[in-house]
Structure 1
Amino acid sequence: MTDPGTGKAAPAVRVHHESASNQPEVVLVHGTMDRSASFGPVLRQLTDRRAVTYDRRGWGRSRSSGGGTIQLNDHVQDLLSVLESAAEPPVLAAHSFGGIIALCAAARRPASVRAVVAYEPPVRWLPWWPVEAPWERVVREATPQGPAAVATAMFTAVTGRPPGPDQQRPGELEANGRSLLAEMGDPSLAEIYFDLDRLAGLRVVVGAGSESQPHHIEVARRLALLLDRGVFVELPGAGHSAHVTHPELFARLIETTR
């Protein structure tokens, strides 16, 4: 779809502004099986920062814009369209798969980004990522049972509990499962999808939780070492969903980019 006014590809996402300002200092990008609302606790910690977050394709209010043909590049283009609204280069703060999107966007337009905070980005092409990570195995084993079973298995694996009433609303698990399968099955994720050299000179904070899976911690640590201005920060007591369980620590990651 093209915007007739600009001739550019129109973003499929419905951008949700958490601030009255249209000049964000921080843009938050959520991961898989998630939506912008999960950053609410973090936003309440960033009381003096103008922040924007949005629902990515296939999730939340952008559910209808998803689909099996959506790939990483589409998500990156959506984020770049969000950056176009910023008067000054903002900080990109992202969780999990959102971290990959943020790193790709920053590598494509480093002058449009002040810094990147990437929490446990699943960078599969780094040699420290397992041939089949535990959650990848969970998805593979549940796939024959259908999308709803995939979403249930993944939610339980990540959070340690089964989906609650909100996640079990009619059609919710099915839709989440379809979007999850599309993202994790994206063939472009096996490629080298951002150039480390393009991030040279840009401050990149790579975070991981002390209670996270070992490969998430190792990949985050190694990625920070590979980056020119990369910094690794471990959040004590946190797991993969630190923005929900430890929002004050996640917010401090963002504050390190001041």
Structure 2
Amino acid sequence: MVLFVHGTMDHSGSFRRIADHLPAWSIVGYDRRGWGASRGLAPPQPALADHVDDLITALSTLPKPIVAGHSYGALVALTAASQHPELVKAVVAFEPPLPWLPWWPTTAPWEQLIDDASQEGPAATAKALQEAVLGHASAGQSEEELTALGTALIREMTDPTISQPSFDPGTMTTPVLTASGTRSLPHHQQTALHLCDLIPAARHEDIDGAGHIAHVTHPRHFAALVEQAIAPPSG
């Protein structure tokens, strides 16, 4: 079984194409509070701890799955696994944002973009991040939808707790597969690679030709990460 945890400006449905490449697996997902079907569940200022608690609650009902997290979802997965390793078989962490590690820039490009765009309002902030990540704004979204997305985005990215260490990589006992795309921003790649060096039972894999949204653009390769997370180390 694998439980997917989505990142910011996303929802659980974005992992559906990955499920096509894991026919023998049970696939579980949920919309984090503030996003998708859980949009109305977000408190005025949700903190990382809220998302970690939600994941731990979900894990307590499942038979020790692999947890595969993308971006912010990978941070949630790593933090939950560090607190309750007995609930997690392994973690796949694709480009987690870890501002408290030395490989993260003082002002990362997307964080600066959000800070600048937020002066023009939530809808403009959502559009700006979509253009930065996708190369274009998503089509067919109303101003109301963009405002809701931007509001959740600003709340999540301005949470001060994400700049504080939420787990100790050196004491993690859960097997971890860190991953990054070869076309991702340099600090995303470096952080995922060096995180692997800090976690005792960790390995690193690249997805060749992928950027930050590899779960959407390279679903077969992302699915392979899930299978590799529990495969014996080669050599």
Tell me the residue number matched to 1:72: 48
Taking the aligned partners of 1:141 and 1:170, their CA distance within structure 2 comes to: 19
Task: Map Cα deviations across residues 221-245 of structure 1 (whole Å, 9 max, x no partner).
Answer: 0000100011111100100000000
Amino acid at match of 2:4: L
Partner of 1:13: none
**Larger helix proportion, structure 1 or 2?**
2
Q: What are the Cα deviations for residues 168-197 of structure 1, in whole angstroms up to 9, with x where unaligned?
A: 135111011011111110011111111224
SS at 1:164 equivalent: coil
Q: Give 3-state SS (helix, strand or coil) of 1:63's partner.
A: helix
- For residue 207 of structure 2, what is the aligned residue in structure 1? 235
Paired residue type of 2:114: V
- Partners of 2:187 and 2:171 lie apart in 1 by 25
Residue pair 1:29, 1:99 contacting (<8 A) in 2 also: yes
Answering whether residue 146 of structure 2 is matched by residue 173 of structure 1, we say: yes
Structure 2 portions without partners, runs of 5+: 231-235
**Matching of residue 53 in structure 1 with residue 29 in structure 2:** yes
Question: Is 2:79 the partner of 1:104?
Answer: yes
Q: Determine the C-alpha separation between the residues in 2 that align with 1:96 and 1:34.
A: 10
In structure 2, what residue type is equivalent to 1:82? A
Q: Report the Cα offset of residue 257 of structure 1.
A: 2.1
Structure 2 counterpart of 1:206, from 175, 178, 188: 178
Q: Quote the residue 1:252 is aligned against.
A: 224
- How far is 1:67 from its partner? 3.8
Tell me: CA distance 1:137–1:170, structure 2 relative to 1, closer, same or farther (3 Å).
closer
* Conservation of the 8 A alpha-carbon contact between 2:169 and 2:195: no
2:165 matched residue in structure 1:
192
What residue ranges of structure 1 are gaps of 5+ in the alignment? 1-24
Q: Which runs of 4+ in 1 moved over 3 A?
A: none
In structure 2, distance between residues paired with 1:157 and 1:59: 20
What SS does structure 2 have at the residue aligned with 1:55?
A: coil
Question: How far off its partner does 1:163 sit?
Answer: 2.0
Give the match for residue 164 of structure 1. Answer: 139
Counterparts of 1:63 and 1:204, CA distance in 2: 29
Say which of 193, 202, 213 aligns to 1:221.
Answer: 193
Residues 110 and 198, structure 1, Cα contact 8 Å, conserved in 2: no
Give % identity: 44
Instruction: Give yes or no for contact 1:67–1:178 (8 Å, CA) kept in 2.
Output: no
User: Partner of 1:130: helix, strand, or coil?
Assistant: coil
What do you get for the CA RMSD once the two structures are aligned?
0.9
How many residues are paired up?
230
Q: 1:185 is aligned with what amino acid?
A: T
1:122 aligned counterpart, secondary structure = coil
Shift of 1:66: 1.5
In structure 2, the CA distance between the partners of 1:121 and 1:198, relative to structure 1 (3 Å rule), is same
Partner of 2:93: 118
> Take 2:106 and 2:43, find their aligned partners in 1: how far apart are those partners?
26
